[in-house]
Amino acid sequence: MFDAISPYLATLLPTVGVAFLFYWIIRYMIEADRRERKALASWRKEHERNDPNRGTVARGAESEAGSAQDLQERPEDDGAISADGSASSDDNSTNASTDDPKA
């Protein structure tokens, strides 16, 4: 009876082994991510406790102010349509492909 089952077991053994290794590796990665997130949260909490002015709200307000300032100082994008409806003068694009040697 064992002689009849042994080819099937020999065929399934590598698949089961690889599945076990896959499960073990994925489980280890998820646990490592969980530990990293927990350590990062405790690190942030400790630093916010030591310096309350550097909390997440203060950092968010700084990034919003910086992005608004960047938008005011940023020139128009290439190819943008101006207020009078004409294309910007920096638009040097052509309809021909640069990869085509015949163009």
Residues 68/61, Cβ–Cβ less than 8 Å: no
31 located within any domain = yes
pLDDT for the residue 19: 97
Residue 63, classified by CB atoms within 10 Å of its CB into exposed (0-12), middle (13-18) or buried (19+), is exposed
For the chain, the domain total comes to 1
The residue segments making up the domain with residue 15 are: 1-49
80 located within any domain = no
37 located within any domain = yes
Per-position pLDDT tens, the chain of length 103: 788 899 999 999 999 999 999 999 999 999 999 999 999 999 999 998 888 676 555 455 555 555 555 555 555 555 556 556 655 555 455 555 555 566 5
pLDDT for the residue 3: 87
84 located within any domain = no
pTM for the full predicted model: 0.42
